Homo-oligomer: A and B are copies of this chain.
Amino acid sequence: MTEKNRKGCLIVAGLGPGSPDLMAPRARKALEEAEVVLGYSTYVDLVRDCLNPESEILSSAMMQEIDRCRKALDLAEAGRRVVLVCGGDPGIYAMAGLVFELAAQKGEGCAVPIEVIPGIAALNACAAVLGAPLMHDFAAVSLSDLMTPWDLIERRLEAAALADFVLVLYNPKSKRRTGQIARAREILLAHRSGTTPVGIVSAASRAHESLHLATLETMLAEEIGMQTTVIIGNSQTFIHAGRMITPRGYSGKYGL
C-alpha cells in the first residue's frame, strides 16, 4: 500500500455514456485500484467487470446522492482509497459539484485530496450518434425544476432561443414531470421555425440506444423519458442522409 493510499483520497470518476470502450483508461485504472467503490446501482453494474474483487462495493438507489457523496468523503477521510462513479462526465449534471460542496461545508478540516476524472458526457455521445449537431455555439439546460426554479429555466430557454444557440436539454421528462418539454418547445417555436431539426437520443452507446430525428413541430410525438437527451438545432442546422448537422461557417467563408 502506498503512502497515497494510506492517506485516503476520493476520485470522482466518469464512466462515459455506458459502452465500456467509451470509458477513459484513467477511470478504469482508478476502479481497479479502488478500495471502496460507491455509486448509483445502474452505474456500478456497468463496471462490475473491471472492479477489483477485493474492493468494497456500496451501490445505492437513485435520489440518495447526498448520502452517497457524504459517505464517500467520510471513507476517504478515514484513510480509504475511494472511487465514486458517475455516468457520463462527473462535471456535467452529475456528482462532482455535490462532493466539493460537501467538502467545503466540512471546512478547512477536510483535507482529503479530491480528483475528478472527466468522461464522455451524454451531450458528447448523443451528438456523435446524431452526426454533428453541436458544431457551433450551444447551451445545455436541465429541465428538472426539482432544485432550480422553473422561472430561471424558462429564462435560460428564452435566452438560448433568442441568441440562436443549439440547445441540449437534459432531464427533459420524468414520470412526474411531463409538461416541461412541451413548454420548452413552445418557447423555442416563438423564435425558431417549426422545421428546425431536433435529435432525440436515449441510452446513447448502450444496447438499448434509440435515436430519432424530428423537428420542433413533430418532436412531442417521439418517446422522451428519463434517459433521453434532446438536441434542438439552431437556425442553420440541417438534416442530410439521416444525420443532423450544424454548419460551422466554412461554407459562407470559403464557398466549399
Contacts and interface: CB of A to CB of B under 8 A. Distances in A.
B135 A96 contact: yes
A162 to B, nearest CB: 6
A131 to B, nearest CB: 6
A128 B117 contact: yes
Given A104-B240, A124-B118, A124-B124, A248 B137 contact: no
Contact of A118 (B22, B65, B101, B252): B22
A249 interface: yes
Interface residues of A, number: 84
A114 to B, nearest CB: 8
B245 A101 contact: yes
A140 interface: yes
A225 interface: no
Nearest to A251: B101
Interface of A: 14, 16-17, 19-26, 29, 65-66, 89-94, 96-105, 108, 114, 116-121, 124-125, 127-129, 131-142, 146-148, 152-153, 155-156, 158-160, 162-165, 238, 240-241, 243, 245-254, 256
